Structure 1
Amino acid sequence: MQQSTVNAFYQNFLGNSPEWYKLAIIACLIINPMLFALDPYVAGWALVLEFIFTLAMALKCYPLQPGGLLVIEAVAIGMTSPGHIEAEISQNLSVVLLLIFMVAGIFFMKDLLMFSFTKLLIKVKSKIALSLAFTFASAFLSAFLDALTVVAVIITVSTGFYMIYHKVASGKPGNHTDHDHTEDEHFDTPTRSELDEFRAFMRNIMMHAGVGTALGGVCTMVGEPQNLVIAERAGWNFIEFALRMAPVTIPVLIAGLITTVLLEKLKWFSYGAELPDTVRHILVEYDKESDSKMTKRDKVKLFSQVFIAIWLIVGLALHLATVGLIGLSIIILATAIAGITDEHQLGKAFEEALPFTALLCVFFAVVAVIIDQQLFAPVIQWVLTFEGKMQLVMFFIANGLLSMVSDNVFVGTVYINEVAAALKQGIITRDEFDLLAVAINTGTNLPSVATPNGQAAFLFLLTSALAPLIRLSYGKMVYMALPYTIVLSIVGLIATYYGLMDWTQTLYDMNLIEHHSAAGSATESGH
């Protein structure tokens, strides 16, 4: 009886995760207390590497549970304290509010986003122009909205189109509700070939859009959660953040768009797939039917969302309120105008962001361990032995390599905290801190497109219902992202080395940004 109880517990533990993964986590939980008794510094690094491992294995098990267990144990054995974790979360409350309210707010603007992307897919017939449009549109939207939401909308549009075509190609009647769009064994050879072309086309579009969210997400303080952490530490508003990043982000954006065109034109790395004419005809007819069914209320809702989007951009640009509060205002405006007053309807908007918000709080708990055990102090001291431009390049590389295998929010948060601590201790000047903050932000955002581990939007795409439909695997994503990874990383490095310092001095000379005093917010937030 006792043995069966143990077996039942083991089966329940971490659900359907692989056996080897469960054993690995259990082994970590057993080893960590012994390591901490022998050498707290070594135990701290073991915890960080174990946590990065849970992030890298996110497809096997969502990192919240294994990562959370490791953190709970870390608190229990004295690596950090609940008070310090609470202080870290409180200090990053603006980021938490960004994820809770902004993501939920954009959820209620999906009608406008879906309408826009649907028209883009239908109206633009040139594959090169369409790919460029998706990359740029994703970049622009991700500079002001949450990248995860932008990708979620494009996934929804793409999945809808796939289901429409699959149903028609299967010969099912229009009112058939039990159609299985995951099954295509009954397709004849010509139709199957056409379906494979359509899948290749959708893989191209989704990868361009995913990279686009990275190109735009690096530009502003709301593009990625770690951007806001960096902006908070540095005391930068929306405009100053964008201006300081510009010498790196603008060349990278241009290089990314050129890469999109070249990949489609040269048909390298599985790009260049065209939308079959039969599929286009089916989608156009469906779009016409959808437009004909649009009521006056639907049109009013779309127009109202346009004005809400304008308020979002203006509110962020002029820093009229914190990002989280602007997100809350979007929820109120969008739901009031659309007539969404049911509590359960409101609840759906928060489902997307809350798991990641909980995981982010676990991030901050690991950050508390890093600070208490002074884990990154030797690394930061070594990188700071470099001077001038090479120092910036080394920070870009250090952040980039780690962000390729681990979540870039975690990496960015750790490094900006350590640099803030170096500023407080007088190791670096405030001007050096500002330049390093740019290198950290661009380093975490750009090379992280290499794998789905680095960016939440890429991981969301890989774990979505669309990925198996269009045959988009982990390996395929890495392969298709490779040219972007190389171009974005090289151009980012070159821009960091040659342009960052001169551009920042130009901004000072033109009085577009101010020299922050040594008593600025970065010092206050240092540990």
Structure 2
Amino acid sequence: MQQSFLNAFYKNFLGHSPEWYKTAIISFLVINPILFFFVSPYIAGWALVIEFIFTLAMALKCYPLQPGGLLAIEAVFIGMTSPNQVMHEIEANIEVLLLLIFMVAGIYFMKNLLLFLFTKIITKVRSKIMVSLLFCFASAFLSAFLDALTVIAVIISVAVGFYSVYHKVASGADANKEHDHTSDQNVAEFSREELQQFRAYLRNLLMHAGVGTALGGVCTIVGEPQNLIIGDQAGWDFVEFAIRMSPVTVPVFIAGLLTCALVEKLKWFSYGVELPTNVRQILIDFDVNETKNRNKMENVKLIMQGVIAVWLIVGLALHLAAVGLIGLTIIIFATSFTGITDESQIGHAFEEALPFTALLAVFFAVVAVIIDQQLFTPVINWVLTYEGNMQLVMFYLANGFLSMVSDNVFVGTVYITEVKAALVNGQITRDQFDLLAVAINTGTNLPSVATPNGQAAFLFLLTSALAPLIRLSYSRMVFMALPYTIVLTIVGMLAIASGTLESATQSYYDQGLIEHHYGKSTEMDGSDGH
């Protein structure tokens, strides 16, 4: 009876995760108190950080909220940090949580407009290079103002829709009947090669779009969650954040689009796959039919969503309210003017964001441990021994490397917190803090395209129902991201190392585009660097 109970308990623990993964998490939970009480709190703290990064890197085995949350709860329980410190971190970053809760849900109600946009790109533009550039550019532009997860979710919806339309035709299924597009059993033999080519074509577009979310996401304070954390610590609004990042983000953006065109033109890294003529015609016919059947009410909905999108851009650019509150207005406007009044419909919009919001709260618990145990203080002090541009380059590379194997939100949060503490303690000047904030933000956003671990949008794509349909595996994604990883990382580093960032920032000061923050409350608002 006892054996049976223990066996059932073990099977329930972390569900369908591999046995070795369950054993690893249990080992961590056993080892941490031993290290903390009998070896060294400092070593125990570092063990916790490494273990938490492990749960992020193994996100495909188990969503990090559960194992990471267990580690964080244990850390609070044994005294690595306190509930008050965790709450302090969450309160200090409340804008980020509101961004995830309200903005992601708000954009959910504008999916029809985004679906309409990407559908027209695929069906109206014949040049593969131009389609790729448009997908990359549109994803970048949207991700600068919206949430990257929502943008990639919309593109996935477009791809699944088109894939299922063609798959139904290739399988000889009745257009008016339900069809299982996950099975190739009924696909005609002469269509199989065409289907493989269509899958490769969709892989190309989705990877370009994924990189586009990174190119746009790095530019603005709302592009990625860590951007808002960094901007909040620095006291920058939407416009100032974009201006300060521009010496790095503008050349990187141009280099990213050039890379997109180059890999398509030269057919490197599995790119350059054309849309089969027969598939194109099927998709065009589908789009024409959808347009014909769209009634007046649905057309008005699209118009209203366009108007709301303009309000979103204006509200963010003029910093009319906190980002999360602007997201709340999007929910209210988008539901009020598109006929959505049912509570269940509104509730469905929050499903996408809340798991990651909960995970971010766990991030802040680990950050609380890092602060209380002063884990990063020696590392930060070592990097601060470098001077000038080399100091910026070291921060950029350190953030970039960690973001490749971990999560860029976690890395960005940790580093900006420690650098803010260095400012408060008088180790660096306010000008150097501003430059380091740029290096941290670009470091977490650009090299992290290397793996799905670093970018939430990439991980979302990899774990979506579409990935197995188009044969997009982890290794294939890393391979296809490689040219972008190399180009974006190097161009970003050169912009920082060459002194472009420093000289451009000084020029912005002289022109009055941005101002010094000396003496402002944002410079230091607490002894712990918050």
Per the alignment, residue 311 of structure 1 pairs with 311
CA distance in 2, matches of 1:165, 1:189: 14
1:184 CA drift (Å): 1.1
Query: The residue matched to 1:208 in structure 2 has which SS?
Result: helix
- Do structure 1's residue 48 and structure 2's residue 45 form an aligned pair? no
Letter in 1 for 2:16: N
Deviation at 1:190, TM superposition (A): 2.5
Q: Give the match for residue 334 of structure 1.
A: 334
2:61 maps to 60
Alignment-mate amino acid for residue 139 of structure 1? A
Q: Which residue of 2 aligns with 1:260?
A: 260
**2:205 is the counterpart of 1:205:** yes
The residue matched to 1:115 in structure 2 has which SS? helix
Whole-angstrom CA distance in 2 between matches of 1:57 and 1:135 = 28
Distance 1:128 1:12 in 2: 49
The Cα of 1:185 is off from its aligned counterpart by: 3.2
Q: Which residue of 2 aligns with 1:456?
A: 456
| Counterpart secondary structure, 1:523 | coil
Task: Output the CA distance in 1 between the equivalents of 2:121 and 2:278.
Answer: 18
1:149 equivalent in alignment to 2:150:
yes
TM-superposed CA distance for 1:497, in Å, is: 1.5
Q: CA RMSD in A?
A: 0.7
CA deviations 1:266-304 (Å, max 9, x no partner) are: 000000000000000000001010001101000000000
User: How many angstroms does 1:187 deviate by?
Assistant: 2.8
Q: CA deviation at 1:32?
A: 0.2
Matched, 1:229 2:229: yes
Say whether the 8 Å CA contact 1:234–1:520 is kept in structure 2.
no
Distance 1:391 1:220 in 2: 23
Match of 2:71 in 1: 70
Match of 1:123 in 2: 124
Shift, 1:519, TM fit: 4.5
Q: In the TM superposition, what is the alpha-carbon distance from 1:188 to its structure 2 partner?
A: 3.7
Give the aligned partner of residue 481 of structure 1. 481
Question: TM-score scaled by structure 2?
Answer: 0.99
Deviation at 1:232, TM superposition (A): 0.3
Query: Which residue of structure 1 lines up, in the alignment, with residue 372 of structure 2?
Result: 372
Q: Is the CA contact (8 Å cut-off) linking 2:89 and 2:364 kept in structure 1?
A: yes
Q: Which residue in 1 is equivalent to 2:418?
A: 418
Per-residue CA distance 1:153-182 (angstroms, 9 max, x = gap) = 0000000000000001111111111x2111
Q: What per-residue deviation string (whole Å, max 9, x for no partner) do you get for residues 469-497 of structure 1?
A: 00000000000000000000000000111
* Distance across 2 between alignment mates of 1:524 and 1:98: 23
Partner residue in 2 for 1:284: 284
Q: Which residue number corresponds to residue 447 of structure 2?
A: 447
Q: Show CA shifts across 1:334-387 (max 9, x none).
A: 000011111101000000000000000000000000000000000000000000
Q: Secondary structure at the match of 2:337?
A: helix
Q: Is it true that 1:7 corresponds to 2:7 in the alignment?
A: yes
Flag structure 1 segments of 5+ consecutive residues without an equivalent: none
Aligned-partner residue type, residue 191 of structure 2: T
Separation in structure 2 between the aligned mates of residue 48 and residue 95 of structure 1, nearest angstrom: 21
Q: In structure 2, what residue type is equivalent to 1:407?
A: D
CA distance in 1, matches of 2:67, 2:239: 39
1:173 to 2:177 alignment: no
SS in 1 for 2:183: coil
Equivalences for 1:89-108 in 2 at 5 Å?
89-108=90-109
Counterpart residue type for residue 253 of structure 1: F
Whole-angstrom CA distance in 2 between matches of 1:185 and 1:484: 36
- Matched to 1:73, the amino acid is E
Q: Is the 8 A contact 1:35 1:43 kept in 2?
A: yes
**Contact 1:429/1:518 (<8 A) preserved:** no
Q: SS in structure 2 opposite 1:116?
A: helix
- Per the alignment, residue 196 of structure 1 pairs with 196
List per-residue Cα deviations over 1:15-54 (Å, max 9, x = no partner). Answer: 0000000000000000000000120000000000000000
Between 509-518 and 161-170, report the one with greater CA deviation.
509-518
Secondary structure in 1 matching 2:191: helix
Runs of 5+ unmatched residues, structure 2: none
Amino acid at match of 1:500: L
SS in 1 for 2:222: coil
Count residues in correspondence. Answer: 526
Aligned to 1:246: 246
Secondary structure of the structure 2 residue equivalent to 1:513: coil
Question: What is the alpha-carbon distance in structure 2 between the residues aligned to residue 174 and residue 370 of structure 1?
Answer: 57
For residues 380-459 of structure 1, the aligned pairs below 5 Å read 380-459=380-459
Is residue 351 from structure 1 mapped to residue 356 from structure 2 by the alignment?
no
Which amino acid in 2 is paired with 1:167?
Answer: K
- 8 Å CA contact 1:400, 1:444 repeated in 2: yes
TM-superposed CA distance for 1:518, in Å, is 4.7
Structure-2 separation of matches of 1:457 and 1:344: 26
Contact 2:171/2:188 (<8 A) preserved: no
How far 1:515 moved relative to its partner? 0.8
